[in-house]
Structure 1
Amino acid sequence: MECLLGLLKVKVVRGLNLAICDPLSHSSDPYVVIHLGQQKVKSSIKYKTINPEWNEELTLSITNWTLPIKIDVFDHDTFTKDDTMGDAEFSILEFVEVAKKDVAGLPDGTVMKTLHPDSDNCLAAESCIKLKEGKITQDLFLKLRNTDTGELVLHLEWVSIPGMGH
């Protein structure tokens, strides 16, 4: 069995300017699917919007921090196959490295690391990994690929497993 390093809470905050998949209503019925290795978690469907507000927390068990987290956004269709609305991917390597550090005594709000958008990631804006209320957190603005438009806003939070180090 793989060793559990910790849990990653992925809060799917919202989508911005997602693709219009339902031309009649000029909107979409988006939902998000997050993959990590064999794990798959899914948000609820938000109807008739291209700027959905989910604010839903999905939890992944982290056993291999070298695997990227893959995200797909779909448009829910009742009678046909759901349309893809783009995808994104990000690495949690730096996030988990920071999460494993001893942060005792550091002031709340300490920025542990800043990540910048580049060709290797889907970041739409600079993203800081920081200490907030004793937890390692990160806000991500991801630009969706394989589509003309759309961004996703995510909030990550690390949950340590007691007895598993930090």
Structure 2
Amino acid sequence: MLQGSPAAGRIQDQRTEDGDSSASTNSLGSGNADFPPGDPGIYQLDVTLRRGQNLAARDRGGTSDPYVKFKLGGKEVFRSKTIHKNLNPVWEEKACILIDNLREPLYIKVFDYDFGLQDDFIGSAFLDLTSLELNRQTDVTLSLKDPHYPDHDLGSIFLSVLLAPGDQREA
């Protein structure tokens, strides 16, 4: 989170609630004033959403129709396809996300799609971008949690991630 900078208020004002389909997919902020000298400023995060395991059932039949949202700075930057009636979905979907603040974690939220109704929250997790090694493919397992029920096991999400400085992106 940007602190003490004039951009901090603007970024917070632009945040939208879940379900707002008008959320922008552009994750670039207004500048790189918060980065130390020598920091490239912009990074590219290549994420492969691999699969989910033992996701919580949210439908009457004991299954869920899961999909995943990636959010950065309060904005949705990627949404996966929905896998119907599956608690162990396989997505194998790739997303390329531009990052201008490594201290802002990637927020991963999993939902159960419900036709015509509000989608059910399954669980969420944070990916600490500062923990990633630059230019190294990393497999990540994230345990899903619900802040209201911290002791519940809601399943896991498996990702492969690669963080690279923006100026080293392949054309």
- Cα shift readout 1:61-99 (whole Å, capped 9, x = no counterpart): 11000011111100000021000001111211131xx31
2:111 paired residue number: 74
2:154 paired residue number: 149
1:107 paired residue number: none
- For residues 54 and 155 of structure 1, the distance between their equivalents in structure 2, rounded to whole angstroms, comes to 12
Amino acid at match of 1:30: P
1:37 to partner: Cα distance: 1.0
Paired residue total: 126
Amino acid at match of 2:156: E
- Cα shift readout 1:11-56 (whole Å, capped 9, x = no counterpart): 11000000111122x2110000011114411111011100000000
Amino acid at match of 2:142: L
Higher strand share: 1
1:158 to partner: Cα distance: 2.2
**Local SS of the residue matching 2:87:** coil
TM-score (structure 2 length as normaliser): 0.68
1:158 paired residue number: 163
**5+ long unaligned stretches in structure 1:** 100-134
- Cα shift readout 1:88-134 (whole Å, capped 9, x = no counterpart): 11211131xx31xxxxxxxxxxxxxxxxxxxxxxxxxxxxxxxxxxx
1:31 to 51, 67, 73: 67
**Local SS of the residue matching 1:162:** helix
- Say if 2:20 is the partner of 1:15: no
- For residues 162 and 94 of structure 2, the distance between their equivalents in structure 1, rounded to whole angstroms, comes to 10
Percent identity reads 31
**5+ long unaligned stretches in structure 2:** 1-29, 33-40, 147-151
- For residues 38 and 9 of structure 1, the distance between their equivalents in structure 2, rounded to whole angstroms, comes to 19
Amino acid at match of 2:160: H
1:60 to partner: Cα distance: 1.3
2:95 paired residue number: 58
- Provide the alpha-carbon RMSD of the alignment: 1.8
**Local SS of the residue matching 2:167:** coil
**Most deviating of 137-146 and 34-43:** 34-43
Amino acid at match of 2:114: D
Q: Using a 3 Å threshold, how does the CA distance of structure 1 residues 81 and 57 change in structure 2: closer, same or farther?
A: same
**Local SS of the residue matching 1:18:** coil
2:129 paired residue number: 92
Deviation >3 Å, runs of 4+:
none
- Say if 2:39 is the partner of 1:2: no
- For residues 80 and 109 of structure 2, the distance between their equivalents in structure 1, rounded to whole angstroms, comes to 11
1:138 paired residue number: 138
Amino acid at match of 1:72: K
